[in-house]
Structure 1
Amino acid sequence: MRTSFYHYLMTERDPHKKDTITLFANEAYLDVGFPKQSDDYQKISHYLELNGDYLPEMSIFDEAWERYLEKDK
C-alpha cells in the first residue's frame, strides 16, 4: 500500500527553500481541509481546483504528483 500524496508532500516542506513544490507543500500543511489520506489523483486535483487558492498553477500539482509516483516505485 502506498503512502498518501499528502504524506509524500510533507517530505518536501522546508522553511528556507522557495521552489514551487516546496511552497506548495508548505501551504498544503496549513490547509486543514486537504484530503490527507488520499492517493487518488482525481480527488486531490478536484479539491485543489476548488480550494487551492495558494496554488498558482495546477501544473505544480502535476509535477509534485509525478515525483510522488516516482518515489513510490
Structure 2
Amino acid sequence: MKSFYQFLMTYRNALKKTEMSLFAENVFYDHGFPKNSSDYHEISDYLEMNGDYILDMSLFDEAWNAYLQNIGK
C-alpha cells in the first residue's frame, strides 16, 4: 500500500501553486514526518505537534480524503 507521504509527493513541483502543493513541499522538507505511515491518527497527531507549516488542519483532512480515494478505500 502506498503511504500517505508517497501519495502527497504527487502534488510537489506543481506548475500552479496551490495549498496542497505547498503542503506537499513543506512535508518533503520535514525530515521528521512519518513517511511510511498510512495511519490517520499518527499523521494527524504529528502535524498537530510538529507541523507549524500547516495553519489549518482541514487541509490535511482534504489531502487525507484524496488519499483514501486514490488507494480505493
TM-score (norm: length of structure 2): 0.93
Identical-pair percentage: 53
Q: CA deviation at 1:18?
A: 1.7
- 2:66 is the alignment partner of 1:67: yes
2:11 match: secondary structure: coil
Distance in 2, Cα, partners of 1:26 & 1:33: 14
Structure 1 runs not aligned, ≥5 long: none
Give the number of aligned pairs: 72
- Structure 1 runs (4+) greater than 3 angstroms displaced: none
Distance in 1, Cα, partners of 2:36 & 2:70: 17
TM-score (norm: length of structure 1): 0.93
Distance in 2, Cα, partners of 1:8 & 1:71: 8
Distance in 2, Cα, partners of 1:3 & 1:18: 24
Structure 2 runs not aligned, ≥5 long: none
Give the aligned partner of residue 5 of structure 1: 4
**What is the root-mean-square deviation in Å for CA atoms of aligned residues?**
0.9
